[in-house]
A and B are shown apart, each in its own frame.
Chain A
Amino acid sequence: QTVVTQEPSLTVSPGGTVTLTCASSTGAVTSGCSPNWFQQKLGQAPRALIYSTNKKHSWTPARFSGSLLGGKAALTLSGVQPEDEAEYYCLLYCGGTQGVFGGGTKLTVL
Chain B
Amino acid sequence: EVDLVESGGGLVKPGGSLRISCVASGFTFSKAWMSWVRQAPGKGLEWVGRIKTKSDGGTTDYAAPAKGRFTISRDDSKNTLYLQMNSLKTEDTAVYYCITTLGYWGQGTLVTVSS
Interface string of A93-104 (1 = CB under 8 A from B): 000011111111
Q: Is B57 an interface residue (CB 8 A)?
A: no
Q: Are A45 and B106 in contact (CB-based, < 8 A)?
A: yes
How many Å lie between the Cα of A51 and that of B63 in the bound state?
20
Query: Of A45, A98, A101, which is within 8 A of B105 by CB?
Result: A45
Q: Is A46 an interface residue (CB 8 A)?
A: yes
- Chain A residues closer than 8 Å to B101, beta-carbon distance: 51
How many Å lie between the Cα of A51 and that of B107 in the bound state?
20
How many Å lie between the Cα of A101 and that of B101 in the bound state?
15
Given A45-B97, A46-B97, also A99-B105 (CB < 8 A): no
List residues 1-44 of chain B with CB under 8 A from any CB of chain A.
35, 37, 44
Closest to B101 in A: A51
Closest to B63 in A: A98
- Chain A residues closer than 8 Å to B35, beta-carbon distance: 99
Q: Are A48 and B47 in contact (CB-based, < 8 A)?
A: no
Q: Are A47 and B105 in contact (CB-based, < 8 A)?
A: yes
Q: Are A104 and B103 in contact (CB-based, < 8 A)?
A: no
Q: Are B103 and A57 in contact (CB-based, < 8 A)?
A: yes
How many Å lie between the Cα of A45 and that of B37 in the bound state?
11
B residues within 8 Å of A by Cβ? 35, 37, 44-47, 50, 61-64, 97, 99, 101, 103-108
Given contacts A99-B50, A102-B44, A104-B44, 6 further A-B contacts (CB under 8 A): A87-B44, A97-B61, A98-B63, A101-B37, A103-B44, A104-B45
Q: Show 5 A/B contacts (Cβ-Cβ < 8 Å), sorted by A.
A: A89-B45, A99-B47, A99-B50, A100-B63, A104-B44
